């Protein structure tokens, strides 16, 4: 006679395992890391300086680290430039609004623009250097 520890109720009906995609199971324990970085002119490295001259193009890269998460596509809903980390401080300059509309180029005729995507989890855009008023 053999005895086995029983984890499920055994009946005449077969037990069908519930298959969940790996990513759906893994998401519960993942954190998402968002990053906004000033990049060099060739987009290869983090820019070592925060100084720009009027008319220079500021290369900005937004990314999300996915690790084992399901693939993500990153967007910028709005973006504001200030002299301090406080977004309500003055002076300020709003250049992306309304769920990703590049306001700077439309209002000032600048060369600011979104770059063509290479990866879904990275968004790159250029902002023409400006002066706070």
Mean pLDDT in residue range 94-123: 89
The angle at the Cα of 91, spanning 88 to 93, to the nearest 5 degrees, equals 85
Does residue 115 sit within a domain?
yes
Does residue 5 sit within a domain?
no
Each residue of 18-32: pLDDT tens digit? 555 544 444 445 678
Mean pLDDT in residue range 105-120: 88
Does residue 80 sit within a domain?
no
Does residue 85 sit within a domain?
no
Tokens of 31: 């954190």
Does residue 36 sit within a domain?
yes
Each residue of 40-90: pLDDT tens digit? 999 999 999 989 999 899 999 999 987 777 788 999 999 999 998 898 999
Confidence label for 37 from pLDDT (cuts 50, 70 and 90): very high
Diameter of the chain by CA atoms? Answer: 89
Number of domains in the chain: 1
Does residue 47 sit within a domain?
yes
Does residue 95 sit within a domain?
no
Mean pLDDT (the chain, rounded): 82
Q: Are 102 and 60 in contact (CB under 8 A)?
A: no
Kindly report the CATH number assigned to the domain that includes residue 40: 2.60.40.4100
Q: pLDDT above 90 covers what percent of the chain?
A: 46
pLDDT of residue 10: 54
Q: Which domain holds residue 30?
A: 22-75+110-128
Does residue 30 sit within a domain?
yes
Least confident of 3-12, 36-45, 53-62, 100-109: 3-12
Q: pLDDT above 70 covers what percent of the chain?
A: 77
Phi/psi of residue 64, each to 5°?
A: -130, 130
Pairing type for strands 101-102 and 113-114 reads unpaired
């Amino acid at each position: 006679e053999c005895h086995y520890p029983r984890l499920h109720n055994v009946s005449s009906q077969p037990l069908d395992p519930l298959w969940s995609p790996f990513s759906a199971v893994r998401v519960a324990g993942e954190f998402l890391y968002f990053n906004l970085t000033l990049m060099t002119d060739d987009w290869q490295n983090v820019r070592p300086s925060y100084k720009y001259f009027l008319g220079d193009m500021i290369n900005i890269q937004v990314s999300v680290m996915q690790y084992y998460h399901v693939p993500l596509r990153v967007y910028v809903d709005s973006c504001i430039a200030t002299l301090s980390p406080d977004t309500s401080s003055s002076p300020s300059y709003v250049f992306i609004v309304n769920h990703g509309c590049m306001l700077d180029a439309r209002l000032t005729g600048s060369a600011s623009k979104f770059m063509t995507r290479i990866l879904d989890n990275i968004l790159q855009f250029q902002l023409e250097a400006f002066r706070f008023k």
